[in-house]
Chains A and B, each alone.
Chain A
Amino acid sequence: MAVPSGGFPWITLIVLLPLVGVAGILAAKEEMAKWVTFGVSSLVFLVSLPLWAMFDDATPAMQFVEKHHWIASPSINYAVGVDGISLPLVLMTTFLTPLCVLVSWTAVETRVKEFMISLLVMETATVGVFVALDFVLFYVFWETMLIPMYLLIGVWGGPNRVYAAMKFFLYTLAGSVLLLVAIIVLYVYAGERSFDVLTLSHAVYSPSLQAWVFWAFFVAFAVKVPMFPFHTWLPDAHVEAPTAGSVVLASVLLKLGTYGFLRFSLPMLPDATQRFTTVVMVLSVVAIIYGAYMAFAQADLKRLIAYSSVSHMGFVTLGIFALNAQGIEGAILQMVNHGITTGALFLCVGMIYERTHSREIVDNSGLAKPMPIYATFLVIFGLSSVGLPGMNGFVGEFFVLVGTFTWSKVAATLAALGVILAAVYILWMLQRVVYGVPAQHVASKLYDLNWREIGTLVPLVVLVFWIGLYPKPFMDVMHASVEKLIHQDVKVMLVEAEPSSFPPTPVTPDVIASAAEAETR
């Protein structure tokens, strides 16, 4: 069931290299810290590329698997590997970390060494979560990231950073409390006496046990996503976090929750998943509309993007719990898209904040004239967030809506409403920030992007259009794994039961209509 790493420990290298970087930073001088970090994180990205190149699309099995004993009794292993679900997320994480370093180049002035160390530890922990094939190992990485993230928000954040950091920490910690118990319960009661994720995925549990464990998992993952009504930590954390912290938070950390659903909830608890699908779908739809509605009302750019995250992550959970191939593939793609687009938007906000020291829309309006390059980037990422056809957001949302449509026409219609709302709040934001009346008191501080900043954003633009125009390489990677998840693990026959309903054409005009509306506004 698992393909070994072929002798070379690629994944361990990706996980450990950032820690080597930490040692390097400790040895380096203060002003060299960012160079070391940038070098190491770029190296990690380069090392992660062969994973993609050598990845075998045809098999749903875990690949590049490494397994070493960690603790003998109970048997806990250092077991890592990737499949089509985790590979895109690993690549996204390694891709974004160097960009986080770049955007912090001048923005972080105090305690640079510690900042860079926190960033690298975050990378280790997040990649570790995506590749862990042992439940305890997963939990260790899952919790470890709390400390560096707490410090990132609390030390380098905005004026209310201490409150936001503590709120973030306690929320996510409280959420994971039940996760640990659930992991132990699965070990003890599953009959397998194993923490191996694949073994646990194949075990069969009684429906009542599944229900309990499902909700324990749900709270932990839903806090991280964050799903309505567990989202209240997110706006505070985002607003107070430094730019790199926001990017890591939005692009990587939120994905951990949805990844948890895909990796654990669905395959391990198929009966409970199907039983409670409706609840999760309703919460997702609420999150989509509520998040969009809240984003509409924000005057603070970061807060606006934070609420748009709630809305976009609602699409991801919607796609996952539609429990069909289109929905889940769309969800995974949407996870990557959200990482790229929202990460990019946070980078943009960080760049303007560095100039005007304000995140208020009124202070940052009318940027098209003084900062044309910046305005171009902002419009591109804004439209990508809206889901304009030809850009990445469209593909993901389209698949999610197709998947949702087969589950419930009402849910799909309501979710499509969220797309329209997204168009409203993003375009209104763009209208004010890019084309609005210039704010006089900041005019002197405005200067356009420098080469470092352009270099930070260009790779993201490339991805926006690549995924938007030619998503096949990304979809191919995940296809086999998602098929296996649907058919073998969750054993859902929704698509098979009604082959005639696919492709469900009625959804398409809906999305395109909304997207078209976005264009016309």
Chain B
Amino acid sequence: MTIPLADLVVILPELIVVGAACLLLALAPITPSTKKDWLAWMSVATLVVCFIVTMNGMGERVYAFSELVVVDGYASFWKLLLYVVSGMIVLLSIGYLKEERIDLAEFYGFVLLSLTGMMIMVSGADLLVVYLGIELMSISLYVMAGFKRFEAKSMESSAKYFILGAFSSGILLYGISLIFGAAGSTRLVEIAAAVNARGLNDSLVLMALMLLIVGFGFKIAAVPFHMWTPDVYQGAPTSVTAFMAVASKAASFGAFLRVMLEGFGGVKPNWTGLILGLCILTLILGNLVAIVQTNVKRMLAYSSIAHAGYALIGVVVAGWIGTEAGASSQGVASMMLYLAIYSFMTLGAFSIVAILRRGGLEGEDLDDFTGLAKRHKVVAFVMLLFMVSLAGIPPTAGFIGKFYLFMAAVNAGLTWLAVVGLIFAAVSAFYYLRVVMVMYMREPTSDQELETRLALSPAATVVLACAVAGVVILGLYPGPLVSFTSSAALP
């Protein structure tokens, strides 16, 4: 059997990334320790090339490998976002890994492997392909979460992530096998046809649907499938945490929504209610538990759960039998926009945690931020921007994200859901502003002045600058991104 060249061209970005990943992994052992940065710069270069390739390949919907893989505006949007996020993670890691004394060059290979998995997820038009992507992403992340081999927390994080990840993959696979029983195929197109034919009350489809939602629920960390998140996020190296909180979440949402809309679009009433429940639970628990956290990393973990709740509003709207045509695609677009904005602000906040050092440790405790505004004005102000944006207060990008989500919700007739979302946005302001309060309104103690310092490498400065630019520019001038997401949204 020969593989047609046209199909390979469709997955060219994936091929480039996976090729680069293999190359990096092969080069890692033979690279002298002084030249390890070169591998990081190589991976950034790879991402830049892929960015250009994907940009050029944007256009009509293209299937490849007999409808196993699809490349459309939707997939391209996620891929572009993932390139940017991965690039920022790599840049952040250069300095961070050195600080943590875990600067193994394999790291960058795993980032790219994981990225390949994510790209396959958002491009998968077949449940098994999506599953393959999820596994590739997850297994790389398990390794990365345990990168601090000498630290118990990191090992715990990795082990927890692995067990629960494997468990959720199992559930997902079980769902896939059930739907295969119902449809005779795992291709989304054929699943859609079979689901339509079987109607709303088919128990096999319902069962499969439920298992799929649970499986994806783990990946996007929606309540009640979020249990792993705080421990894993807190224990993992911060740049990995940021990667998990941003890239893996975005890719999971991308794949989740495609499976739901393209595979189960015919039985929307069956899943919107379920997801609505998840959405509200996630909003409530994520925001309320974040209030009592005193560790910033853990607080950000709960905040990322809460933000999954907001993004789920978009999913609910996408599946809601709206009163108006276009309401569904507005939901998809608003979710895409929200996750793009979320990526910048969350990545920014985690970057600050990563560069803040107390002795040889990370400054992840709330106390480590005490009086930061006096010691490092610019960094404190940047953190203030991220916190304000996460709370959704204008003129930052966080407001624009929430605004479009709630627009979509009201447009679909879900005004009450917008009210719930906004009430919890007000709640979230409390814990985000506490960080601001600690930075600006508490005096730094004298010994902390000696202890807390910034490990701000030039590359990390670039990351922060990108995140700030994202938060500010998307807040003041969101037009281009808005039109991009609405043109790239699934119908």
CA distance A475 to B433 in the complex (A): 42
Asked if residues A173 and B426 are in contact (CB atoms below 8 Å), the reply is: yes
How far does the Cβ of A477 sit from chain B's closest Cβ, in whole Å? 30
CA distance A139 to B400 in the complex (A): 12
CA distance A169 to B277 in the complex (A): 30
Asked if residues B422 and A143 are in contact (CB atoms below 8 Å), the reply is: no
CA distance A162 to B415 in the complex (A): 34
Asked if residues A140 and B478 are in contact (CB atoms below 8 Å), the reply is: no
Q: Which of B385-404 contact A (CB under 8 A)?
A: 388, 393-395, 399, 403
Asked if residues A166 and B433 are in contact (CB atoms below 8 Å), the reply is: yes
In the assembled complex, B303 has its CB within 8 A of some CB on chain A: no
- Known contacts A72-B483, A178-B422, A184-B407, A139 near B440 by CB under 8 Å: no
Residues of B within 8 A of A454 (CB): none
Residues of A within 8 A of B394 (CB): 139-140, 143-144
In the assembled complex, A161 has its CB within 8 A of some CB on chain B: yes
CA distance A74 to B482 in the complex (A): 10
Return the chain A residue nearest B440 by Cβ. Answer: A155
In the assembled complex, B166 has its CB within 8 A of some CB on chain A: no
Residue of B403, B406, B418, B483 most packed against chain A (CB within 10 A) = B403
Q: Which of B409-424 contact A (CB under 8 A)?
A: 410-411, 415, 418-419, 422-423
Residues of B within 8 A of A139 (CB): 394
Return the chain A residue nearest B410 by Cβ. Answer: A184
In the assembled complex, A146 has its CB within 8 A of some CB on chain B: yes
Interface SS of A by simple majority: helix
Return the chain B residue nearest A156 by Cβ. Answer: B441
0/1 per residue, A180-209, Cβ < 8 Å to B? 110011011000000000000000000000
In the assembled complex, B437 has its CB within 8 A of some CB on chain A: yes
Asked if residues B426 and A177 are in contact (CB atoms below 8 Å), the reply is: yes
How far does the Cβ of B410 sit from chain A's closest Cβ, in whole Å? 5
How far does the Cβ of B366 sit from chain A's closest Cβ, in whole Å? 14
Residue of B373, B395, B407, B410 most packed against chain A (CB within 10 A) = B410
Residues of A within 8 A of B483 (CB): 72-73
Return the chain A residue nearest B381 by Cβ. Answer: A114
Interface SS of B by simple majority: helix
- Pick the contact of B422 from A146, A170, A180 — CB < 8 Å? A180
- Pick the contact of B482 from A73, A144, A151, A174 — CB < 8 Å? A73
Return the chain B residue nearest A171 by Cβ. Answer: B426
Asked if residues B423 and A155 are in contact (CB atoms below 8 Å), the reply is: no
Asked if residues B441 and A154 are in contact (CB atoms below 8 Å), the reply is: yes
0/1 per residue, B469-491, Cβ < 8 Å to A? 00000000011001100100000
Asked if residues B429 and A169 are in contact (CB atoms below 8 Å), the reply is: yes
Asked if residues B399 and A184 are in contact (CB atoms below 8 Å), the reply is: no
How many chain A residues touch B (CB < 8 A): the figure is 34
- Known contacts A180-B403, A181-B406, A188-B411, A144 near B418 by CB under 8 Å: no
CA distance A73 to B403 in the complex (A): 12
Asked if residues B399 and A143 are in contact (CB atoms below 8 Å), the reply is: yes
In the assembled complex, B228 has its CB within 8 A of some CB on chain A: no
Residues of A within 8 A of B429 (CB): 169-170, 173
- Pick the contact of B425 from A73, A177, A187 — CB < 8 Å? A177
Residues of A within 8 A of B440 (CB): 151, 154-155
0/1 per residue, A125-152, Cβ < 8 Å to B? 0000000000010011001101100110
Interface size class of B (residues with CB under 8 A): 20 to 34
Asked if residues A177 and B423 are in contact (CB atoms below 8 Å), the reply is: yes
Residues of B within 8 A of A73 (CB): 482-483, 486
- Pick the contact of A181 from B373, B410, B411, B441 — CB < 8 Å? B410
In the assembled complex, A165 has its CB within 8 A of some CB on chain B: yes
In the assembled complex, B430 has its CB within 8 A of some CB on chain A: yes
How far does the Cβ of B439 sit from chain A's closest Cβ, in whole Å? 10
0/1 per residue, B114-149, Cβ < 8 Å to A? 000000000000000000000000000000000000
0/1 per residue, B94-121, Cβ < 8 Å to A? 0000000000000000000000000000
Q: Which of B440-491 contact A (CB under 8 A)?
A: 440-441, 478-479, 482-483, 486
How far does the Cβ of B358 sit from chain A's closest Cβ, in whole Å? 23
0/1 per residue, B188-232, Cβ < 8 Å to A? 000000000000000000000000000000000000000000000
- Known contacts A73-B486, A181-B419, A140 near B433 by CB under 8 Å: no
In the assembled complex, A54 has its CB within 8 A of some CB on chain B: no
Residues of B within 8 A of A170 (CB): 426, 429-430
Asked if residues A166 and B422 are in contact (CB atoms below 8 Å), the reply is: no
Residues of B within 8 A of A184 (CB): 403, 406-407, 410, 418
Asked if residues B437 and A144 are in contact (CB atoms below 8 Å), the reply is: no
CA distance A139 to B393 in the complex (A): 10
How far does the Cβ of A230 sit from chain B's closest Cβ, in whole Å? 15
Return the chain B residue nearest A174 by Cβ. Answer: B426
In the assembled complex, A53 has its CB within 8 A of some CB on chain B: no
Asked if residues B437 and A165 are in contact (CB atoms below 8 Å), the reply is: yes
Asked if residues B426 and A144 are in contact (CB atoms below 8 Å), the reply is: no
CA distance A444 to B486 in the complex (A): 70
Asked if residues B441 and A155 are in contact (CB atoms below 8 Å), the reply is: yes
Residues of A within 8 A of B482 (CB): 71-73
Asked if residues B437 and A166 are in contact (CB atoms below 8 Å), the reply is: yes
Asked if residues B399 and A185 are in contact (CB atoms below 8 Å), the reply is: no
How far does the Cβ of A253 sit from chain B's closest Cβ, in whole Å? 16
Asked if residues B426 and A181 are in contact (CB atoms below 8 Å), the reply is: no
Residues of A within 8 A of B436 (CB): 150
Asked if residues A178 and B433 are in contact (CB atoms below 8 Å), the reply is: no
16 A-B residue pairs with CB within 8 Å: A71-B478, A73-B483, A111-B373, A114-B373, A114-B377, A143-B394, A144-B395, A147-B388, A150-B433, A150-B436, A161-B441, A162-B441, A181-B406, A181-B415, A181-B418, A184-B418
List the interface of chain B (C-beta within 8 A of A). Answer: 373-374, 377, 384, 388, 393-395, 399, 403, 406-407, 410-411, 415, 418-419, 422-423, 425-426, 429-430, 433, 436-437, 440-441, 478-479, 482-483, 486
List the interface of chain A (C-beta within 8 A of B). Answer: 70-74, 111, 114, 136, 139-140, 143-144, 146-147, 150-151, 154-155, 161-162, 165-166, 169-170, 173-174, 177-178, 180-181, 184-185, 187-188
> A173-B393, A173-B429, A188-B407 given. 12 additional CB < 8 A pairs?
A71-B478, A71-B482, A73-B486, A140-B394, A140-B395, A155-B441, A165-B441, A166-B437, A180-B403, A181-B422, A184-B418, A188-B411
* Interface pairs A-B: 5 shortest CB-CB: A140-B394, A177-B422, A184-B410, A154-B441, A174-B426
